[in-house]
């Protein structure tokens, strides 16, 4: 158990090395090794969960080793209630991702090698407690993603890949500047825990070009993370990347990579610059509102199913942003409303997980139909419900989960975000409830056009969803349903950590320093 986190991070690299030694013709062996690697990793994440103490809101399973002492950089890992669910989700989605990409024919060896490298990057970001390490993993993630989209993607893959790459790199650079700012002004350390202790006070009162250093660094880091989320107006890489990426990569992109943005904001911006949270929270809620409405309207107008789902991600992450802004409710200005803060932040984090499962499911389902019909034009289908009843049923559940139907997990997190943010941002929340309608509108309209009506003659021999595909979707479906009916297991994991984050933000926010 001592090095369980390291194991999680480096396991995929080991798998990658193993794959490197397999001759490229033995494709099945390559796939199997990837499945074994990610499967083992998934099991380890479950093991981690079972050993995790959910009462403890601080970091657990910490690992620390000196790395570059001259710059005070260390190999520092840890997991808490914020990252643990994401680690489990990562383990699961990568495992599922292997099966989703089972039908990849082109350069199988390279594909799975990059796939596993991506896995390491993602896992590393979630587990790093050293900012330098964090940044390195952040960048490690970027590279395989570029190739996975650029080589195995759709017709516009090169354009999409380079756009994705440049967009996120732009964010990373701003983030790097922010990190260095923190490094030099907070006692020359990259350690996130140390910075969490030191930074809120060390940064106080420093002015750069007449602006508070906190604001500057907040915005720098925020943009870096916001691009990943993606927050309007940094969202346009997403539809393109999603549409062009192969199914499994879309799944991972929506399921995990987008969550890194929210994770980063909560871990870094909230932890290191609580003053900035107060300063920025209204903007955060507003951005959430824009995400909800803009994403919803865009989704409504899409003709391509995958793009619709992509824009639904923009829409759904908006709820998360609104929920995150609610953390200020626990401050004195809002009457120490701990309830609202817990609901909001908990909702945001829950939404992040739920969107992970739901959007993954949606992308897999889009992939299923694309593989059969070779197009994704919503108008081009029709009446598939009679032809593929099981597929229709599963898609219906996924769509209903997407539109926030009670009994499915998305509802709870959306409701929590709303309830949490309401005491502080009444107007914004009321305006964003229009999202409830928009979600339903675009999902149901698309559902009708694809599945209802007379069966399109072209598709009268479309095969039903097969076992392998069912295997990838059903677990996600069960999670969505289970957490929708009984969310307590999830909320138990996060609640102590949420409390400590809220208390941290509230107790360190001084305003004097701004």
What is the contact surface with other proteins in residues (CB under 8 A)? 163, 166-167, 233, 236-237, 239-240, 294, 297-298, 300-302, 311, 338-340, 342-343, 346, 383, 385-386, 393, 400, 405-407, 411-412, 415-416, 418-420, 422-423, 429-430, 433-434, 436-437, 440-441, 444-445, 448, 451-455, 486-488, 491, 495, 498-499
Which tokens go with 229? 């989320």
Angle at the Cα of 395 from the Cα atoms of 418 and 28, rounded to 5 degrees: 115
Q: How far is the CB of 307 from other proteins (least distance, A)?
A: 9
Ramachandran sector of residue 188 (left: φ over 0; alpha: ψ -120 to 50; beta: rest): left
Q: How far is the CB of 444 from other proteins (least distance, A)?
A: 5
Helix (H, G, I), strand (E, B) or coil at 407: coil
Closest to other proteins by CB, 460 vs 510, is 460
Peptide bond into 233 cis (omega under 30): yes
Closest to other proteins by CB, 119 vs 291, is 291
Closest to other proteins by CB, 372 vs 449, is 449
Closest to other proteins by CB, 137 vs 443, is 443
Q: How far is the CB of 264 from other proteins (least distance, A)?
A: 22
* CB < 8 Å & 24+ apart, contacts of 28-32: 30/108, 30/109, 30/112, 31/98, 31/102, 31/108, 31/112
- 287 neighbors 293 (Cβ within 8 angstroms): no
Q: How far is the CB of 61 from other proteins (least distance, A)?
A: 23
Q: How far is CA 489 from the centre of its chain?
A: 20
Ramachandran sector of residue 142 (left: φ over 0; alpha: ψ -120 to 50; beta: rest): alpha
Closest to other proteins by CB, 59 vs 491, is 491
Q: How far is the CB of 449 from other proteins (least distance, A)?
A: 9
* Residue at token pair 């570029």: 146
* Residue at token pair 């893959």: 157
Q: How far is the CB of 284 from other proteins (least distance, A)?
A: 19
Closest to other proteins by CB, 135 vs 425, is 425
Helix (H, G, I), strand (E, B) or coil at 341: helix
- 498 neighbors 346 (Cβ within 8 angstroms): yes
* Residue at token pair 């997190």: 413
Q: How far is the CB of 338 from other proteins (least distance, A)?
A: 4
Closest to other proteins by CB, 281 vs 495, is 495
Paired residues of 208 in beta bridges:
211
Give the whole-angstrom CA distance, residue 210 versus residue 358.
45
Ramachandran sector of residue 511 (left: φ over 0; alpha: ψ -120 to 50; beta: rest): left
Closest to other proteins by CB, 142 vs 338, is 338
Closest to other proteins by CB, 12 vs 323, is 323
Q: How far is the CB of 505 from other proteins (least distance, A)?
A: 15
- 38 neighbors 95 (Cβ within 8 angstroms): yes
Q: How far is the CB of 298 from other proteins (least distance, A)?
A: 4
């Amino acid at each position: 158990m001592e090095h369980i986190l390291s194991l999680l991070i480096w396991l995929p690299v080991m798998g990658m090395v193993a794959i490197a030694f397999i001759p490229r013709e033995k494709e099945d062996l390559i796939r199997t090794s990837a499945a074994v690697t990610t499967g083992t990793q998934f099991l380890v994440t479950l093991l981690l969960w079972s050993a995790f103490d959910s009462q403890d809101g601080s970091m657990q399973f910490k690992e620390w080793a000196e790395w570059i002492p001259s710059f005070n950089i260390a190999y520092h890992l840890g997991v808490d209630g914020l990252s643990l669910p994401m680690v489990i989700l990562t383990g699961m989605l990568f495992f599922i991702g292997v099966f989703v990409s089972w039908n990849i024919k082109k350069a199988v060896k390279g594909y799975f090698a990059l796939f596993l490298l991506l896995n390491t990057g993602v896992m590393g970001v979630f587990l790093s407690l050293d900012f330098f390490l964090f940044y390195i993993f952040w960048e490690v993630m970027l590279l395989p993603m570029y190739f996975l989209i650029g080589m195995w993607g759709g017709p516009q893959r090169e354009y999409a890949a380079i756009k994705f790459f440049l967009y996120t790199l732009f964010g990373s650079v701003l983030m790097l500047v922010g990190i260095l700012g923190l490094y030099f002004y907070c006692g020359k350390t990259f350690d996130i825990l140390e910075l969490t202790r030191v930074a809120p006070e060390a940064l106080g009162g420093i002015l750069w070009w007449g602006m508070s250093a906190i604001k500057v660094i907040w915005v720098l880091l925020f943009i870096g993370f916001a691009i990943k989320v993606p927050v309007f107006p940094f969202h346009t890489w997403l539809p393109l990347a999603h549409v062009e990426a192969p199914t499994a990569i879309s799944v991972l992109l929506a399921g995990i990579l987008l969550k890194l943005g929210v994770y980063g904001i909560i871990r870094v911006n909230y932890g290191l610059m609580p003053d900035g949270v107060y300063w920025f929270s209204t903007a955060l809620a507003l951005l959430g509102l824009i995400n909800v409405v803009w994403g919803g309207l865009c989704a409504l107008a899409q003709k391509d199913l995958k793009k619709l789902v992509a824009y639904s991600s923009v829409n759904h992450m908006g709820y998360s942003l609104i929920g995150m802004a609610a953390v200020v409710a626990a401050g004195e200005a809002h009457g120490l409303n701990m309830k609202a803060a817990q609901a909001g932040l908990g909702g945001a984090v829950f939404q992040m997980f739920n969107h992970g499962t739901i959007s993954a499911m949606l992308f897999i389902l889009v992939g299923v139909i694309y593989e059969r019909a070779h197009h994704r034009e919503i108008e081009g289908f029709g009446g598939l419900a009679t032809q593929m009843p099981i597929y229709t049923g599963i898609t219906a559940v996924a769509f209903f989960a997407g539109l926030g139907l009670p009994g499915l997990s998305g509802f709870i997190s959306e409701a929590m975000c709303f309830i949490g943010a309401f005491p502080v941002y009444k107007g914004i929340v009321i305006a964003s409830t229009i999202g409830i309608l928009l979600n339903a509108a675009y999902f149901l309209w698309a559902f009708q056009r694809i599945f209802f009506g007379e069966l399109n003659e072209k598709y009268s021999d479309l095969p039903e969803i097969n076992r392998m595909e069912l295997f990838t979707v059903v677990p996600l479906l069960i999670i969505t349903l289970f957490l929708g009916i009984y969310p307590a297991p999830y909320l138990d994991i996060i609640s102590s950590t949420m409390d400590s984050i809220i208390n941290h933000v509230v107790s360190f926010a001084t305003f004097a320093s701004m």
